[in-house]
A = this chain, B = another copy of it.
Amino acid sequence: MLSGKTDQELKELSIKTGNACVGFNLRRTARLLGRLYDEAFEPLGLKGTQFSLLMAVAGNKDATIGELAQPLGMERSTLSRNIVVLQKKGLVTVEEGEDRRQQKISITEQGIFVLQEALPLWERIQERLIGELGVERINNLLEDLQSLSQGTKEK
């Protein structure tokens, strides 16, 4: 029963769950690293999230919202809005598919140019993170994140 707990006990519970909670630690690290990426891409007028999405568009020619959302682990409604942001920047085009419910997303020449400029900035962060944890721990981390992502998809 928490209601009877002293401040000290509450404090210990808070620290314990904070240290152990996968969700919290994921979000916190994502926030902190997110600012790193945003800062790096800032000269290109790009956010880290936008770099990832643009890269996904580049690698999936003429994909629809639904097709992109799947590997990104993102709601289609979310993706729909994120695509508009890239479209307004002139980095992607959106056009009706043969099935007129669908929207085919493609990267523009300008989008490819921006990716080209962004790539070395991305690599610099990658190197920095590898420098901090070492390549093995980074690779383990990436594998674990991918396993967890897989795991949530299977009900």
Contacts and interface: CB of A to CB of B under 8 A. Distances in A.
Interface string A1-29: 11101010011111101111111111111
A94 interface: no
Contact of A133 (B33, B37, B60, B144): B144
Contacts of A35: 152
A25 B152 contact: no
A128 B32 CA distance: 26
Interface size class of A (residues with CB under 8 A): 35 or more
A44 interface: no
B26 A26 contact: yes
Copies of this protein in the assembly total 2
Contact of A115 (B2, B58, B122): B2
Interface in A59-109: 59-61, 71-74, 107, 109
B52 A142 contact: no
Contact of A32 (B13, B61, B148): B148
Given A23-B52, A23-B125, A3 B34 contact: no
Contacts of A141: 22, 25, 141, 144-145
A58 B151 contact: no
Given A28-B74, A133-B151, 10 more contacts: A3-B109, A10-B58, A11-B59, A13-B55, A21-B122, A22-B141, A23-B30, A25-B145, A28-B73, A29-B73
